[in-house]
Structure 1
Amino acid sequence: MNIKISNIAKLPSKYGDFKIQSFKDKDKEHLVIFKEPILDNTLLRIHSECLTGDALGSLKCDCQAQLHHALQLISKENGMVIYLRQEGRGIGLFNKVNAYELQDRGFNTIEANHQLGFETDLRDYKIVEYILNYYKIKKINLITNNPNKINSLKNFEILQRIPSITPTNKHNQNYLEIKKESLGHFL
């Protein structure tokens, strides 16, 4: 992997004072948000970019709520969020908007991806291993509901899985049900 690594900068936020560092892999720039000290048994959230949820507050998903939940936990206990730039389960923003339109017509998130010619989930977590090794982390307390994230960390000891259960609403109930029933998420 040919990874470029930025300097570390301060990031004061409504959840506390963090530090940030970027890891550039080919055409994607990922972000690590952390609170020191970074311990070998760190609290970790692997979060895939969701512009509509994270930045615009979309009620169609639980992405922003999970991100904020992780930042709240990390602000109290130290740890990190690895923010991966892989929008829409890896299909990109343009295709995600097209998938949203298909969802407006009654398709669920998986069916919409398939209608557009994509697999269910195209996300890749290889950079996570590089980042964890960079920070010399071998043991983690993983904040996730996603079994794929757990499976992607075979070279690390997961001390515990911390659920990220967030409130539902009428716009994301079906989305969360699909994540649970079809993708095996722990909800």
Structure 2
Amino acid sequence: MTDLADIGSDVSHVERMVETRLPTAHGEFKAVGYLDSRWGHEQVALVYGEIAGTAPLTRLHSECLTGDVFASTRCDCGDQLAAAMRKVVAEGAGVIIYLKGHEGRGIGLLAKLAAMRLQEDGMDTVEANLALGLPVDARDFGVAARILHDLGVSEVRLLSNNPDKLESLRRNGIRVVERVPLLVQPNDDNLPYLRTKRERLDHLLPHLA
């Protein structure tokens, strides 16, 4: 097992705890569980196929209970996760890191629900977070880079529309050799959310009308 303390500063708080096979509707992954003792978050990387010595297709997926579990149509999170799993399996190898502590762009579930309520009154997601006195985006993607280092991955093809993820990986020693778009079909409920991501958060979403 890689000693994360040897990779760089402030990394020893991420420890690999367990790994096991995880059969899914999309294919069989290896689930590798990590403990981030700094925040108490339990993180998981889904590894498909042989990734050693490659730049695997890689998705950093932020936790979203409403989208991933309850299939809410107010966001594209659940659709993106399913699409990412399909793409990784189709590639024959890849990594999906599911990031706990990222609910509502890092503000937490209850605050996210409060922000949703403000959106019903006409605010966008940025305005709603600020109205609650919370950051627009409080997520830290550094833990994902530490997990990739532990998996022996130093370069990736990043499956993302979010430029912050790309820059964070680069700052943390992961080379991004290609950014692969992850575009899902919008619906009436999530189109305003997606437009806010494009227009105010610089996400690359060229498929939006």
Q: Is 1:23–2:39 an aligned residue pair?
A: no
CA offsets per residue over residues 91-143 of structure 1, 9 Å max, x none?
Answer: 01111111111111111101110011111100001111211110111110000
Shift in Å, 1:6: 2.1
2:14 and 2:34 in contact (8 A); partners too: yes
Instruction: Report percent identity of matched pairs.
Output: 38
1:38 aligns with 2:51: yes
Say which SS state the counterpart of residue 8 (structure 1) adopts: strand
Q: For 1:43-54, what aligned pairs fall within 5 Å after superposition? A: 43-54=57-68
Q: Which residue of structure 2 aligns with residue 88 of structure 1?
A: 104
TM-score, normalised on structure 1? Answer: 0.97
Give, in whole Å, the separation in 1 of the partners of 2:27 and 2:121: 41
Amino acid at match of 1:75: V
Could you say which residue in structure 1 is the equivalent of 2:177? Answer: 159
Instruction: Show the 5 A alignment for 1:1-187.
Output: 1-26=12-37, 27-39=40-52, 40-77=54-91, 78-85=93-100, 86-154=102-170, 155-187=173-205
Structure 2 distance, partners of 1:96, 1:104, is 13
**Contact 2:18 2:34 (C-alpha < 8 Å) held by counterparts:** no
Give 1:65's aligned amino acid.
D
Alpha carbons 2:56, 2:94 under 8 Å: kept: yes
Tell me how far 1:76 sits from its aligned partner: 1.9
Structure 1 residue 4: Cα displacement: 2.9
- Give ranges in structure 2 of 5+ residues lacking alignment: 1-11
TM-score normalised to the size of structure 2? 0.87
State the distance in 2 between where 1:165 and 1:185 align. Answer: 11
What is the CA–CA distance in structure 2 between the aligned matches of 1:156 and 1:130, rounded to whole Å?
9
Three-state SS of the structure 1 residue aligned to 2:202 is coil
Aligned Cα RMSD in Å? Answer: 1.0
- Residue 34 of structure 1 contacts residue 74 of structure 1 at CA under 8 Å; is this kept in 2? no
Write the deviation string for residues 45-98 of structure 1: whole angstroms up to 9, x where unpaired. 000000000000000001011111110011122111000011110001111111
2:68 maps to a residue whose letter is D
**Retained in 1: the 8 A contact 2:142–2:169?**
no
Aligned length: 187
Between stretches 126-135 and 42-51, larger displacement belongs to 126-135
